[in-house]
Each structure stands twice: as C-alpha cells, then as structure tokens.
C-alpha cells in the first residue's frame, strides 16, 4: 500500500514538473517572438515610418515632462 502511494506520488510530481517545463518553454518562445526586433515599435513585423513616428512621439512626451 505504501509503495503504491509512493509510485502515484512520484508519477504526479513528474507530471507536474513536465507540465511546468512545457509552460515555461511556451512562455519563453512567446516572449522571444514578441521581442524579435527592438526597433519594431508597433510589433507589426516591419520597421517603417510608423515605427519612427511612434518612437518620436514617445521621446517628445518624455522631454515635455
């Protein structure tokens, strides 16, 4: 009886650890995709004038304060 409980406990722990590692891997992958290029301010996958204008607005807001 005690051995069965130990096996079940170990199996549950292993399952929880595996699920945690999968969750961490998915989160890290998601984060790395979002931050693929730091100059793509609006995160549309293209660096263009819209990114420059957004960055300029943010800089001007900080200087006014």
Given this model, what pLDDT does residue 33 score? 61
The verdict on 22 and 3 lying in the same domain is: yes
pLDDT in tens, 8-57: 999 999 999 999 999 998 887 777 666 567 788 888 878 889 999 998 88
The 3 state secondary structure assigned to 7-48 is: HHHHHHHHHHHHHHHHHHHHHHHHHHHHCCCCCCCCCCCCCC
54 neighbors 42 (Cβ within 8 angstroms): yes
pLDDT, position 42? 84
Number of domains in the chain: 2
> Is the separation of the CB atoms in 47 and 56 below 8 Å?
no
Is 6 a residue whose pLDDT tops 70?
Answer: yes
Q: Same domain, yes or no, for 23 and 46?
A: no
Q: Are residues 2 and 29 in the same domain?
A: yes
Spatial contact of 42 and 50, defined as CB atoms under 8 Å apart? yes
Given this model, what pLDDT does residue 34 score?
60
Statement to judge: residues 30 and 42 lie in one domain: no
Q: The pTM is what?
A: 0.48
pLDDT of residue 38: 78
């Amino acid at each position: 009886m005690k051995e069965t409980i130990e096996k079940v406990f170990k199996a549950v722990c292993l399952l929880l650890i595996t699920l945690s590692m999968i969750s961490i891997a998915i989160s890290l992958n998601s984060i790395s995709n979002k931050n693929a290029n730091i100059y793509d301010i609006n995160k549309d996958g293209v660096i263009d004038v819209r990114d420059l204008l957004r960055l300029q607005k943010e800089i001007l807001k900080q200087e006014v304060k």
